[in-house]
Structure 1
Amino acid sequence: MAADAPPRFVNRLLGWAPTWFIARLLLVSAYLLGGVTKLADWPGAVAEQAHFGLYPAGLWAALTILVEISGPLLILAGRLVWLGAGMLGVFTVLAAMVANAFWTLPAGADRFMATNAFFEHLGLAGGFVLVALVARQAR
């Protein structure tokens, strides 16, 4: 076995048929839940967009719900994965810039937390690129 080869149990896990679906479900679960929650609480969804200064808030709420539901469904269905991943990746970067603009905050705990959240969101966007790459390779 090569020095960089994964252990047998890791190979089994990665080769297990449901692993690909479960990994995608874990990646998109917050978006899917967020979209369904916003859909169930339309006034709250509109208020959230207004809170971030996005107007017309109703339009931004509708677009957010559309992306947060359709993007995950495309990824989970394995159809147009590149589109679903692209939608969620762009959405995630834009949302991070709006909600976690750490560069506008003074030094301190709030800036520290916003910086962490911003870069966590960039990591998620990278995960969507990887999902699109894996899906393309699997074709």
Structure 2
Amino acid sequence: MRPHTPRVVSVIVGHPAVWFLARLALRGAYLLGGLTKLTDWQGALAEQAHFGVALPALSAALTIAVELIGPLLILSGQLVWLGSGMLGVFTLLAAIVANNFWAMPEGQDRFMAMNAFFEHIGLIGGFVLVAMLADRRER
């Protein structure tokens, strides 16, 4: 027999405000990143150049769009699957570009990049879970 979730925990995690705040916490960094890049275009271009991205202006514009539209879809409760998918794919690509630990020599930088890479993979799992929960809530 499996133990059941305590009632107080069920009440807390089932509250609509907690559902919203959890989605905001998972997406907040993307909103902030998108707004920061939008208000500092030169900084956004410099970031793309730092990572050696081809077509930095196009890439910066797409990054801003994904970082703003994805979270807004998720927070609005509309097309949560699309917003989560956008951020999941973006996060995977960003992790590969920015945290390519497999191409680094042994040492502290590689260790930090590896940790950051797998943290990003964890975020992707969070995006999938939010899409799954949103789908269940819609039914």
Matches for 1:6-45 after TM superposition, within 5 Å: 6-45=5-44
CA distance in 1: counterparts of 2:121 and 2:114, whole angstroms = 11
- SS for the counterpart of 1:79 is coil
Counterpart in 1 of 2:92?
93
1:125 correspondence with 2:112 = no
* Letter of the 2:54 counterpart: Y
Q: TM-score, normalised by structure 1?
A: 0.96
Q: TM-score, normalised by structure 2?
A: 0.96
Moved segments of 4+, more than 4 Å: none
Which deviates further from its counterpart, 30-39 or 12-21? 12-21
Which deviates further from its counterpart, 3-12 or 23-32? 3-12
Counterpart in 2 of 1:84?
83
Q: Percent identity?
A: 64
Counterpart in 2 of 1:50?
49
Question: Deviation at 1:22?
Answer: 0.6
* Letter of the 1:120 counterpart: E
Unaligned 5+ residue runs, structure 2? none
Counterpart in 2 of 1:60?
59
Question: Deviation at 1:83?
Answer: 0.5
CA distance in 2: counterparts of 1:15 and 1:133, whole angstroms = 15
Question: Deviation at 1:8?
Answer: 2.8
Counterpart in 1 of 2:70?
71
Unaligned 5+ residue runs, structure 1? none
Question: Deviation at 1:3?
Answer: 4.6
- SS for the counterpart of 2:53 is coil
- SS for the counterpart of 2:27 is helix
- SS for the counterpart of 2:63 is helix
Aligned length in residues: 138
Counterpart in 2 of 1:105?
104
Question: Deviation at 1:88?
Answer: 0.0
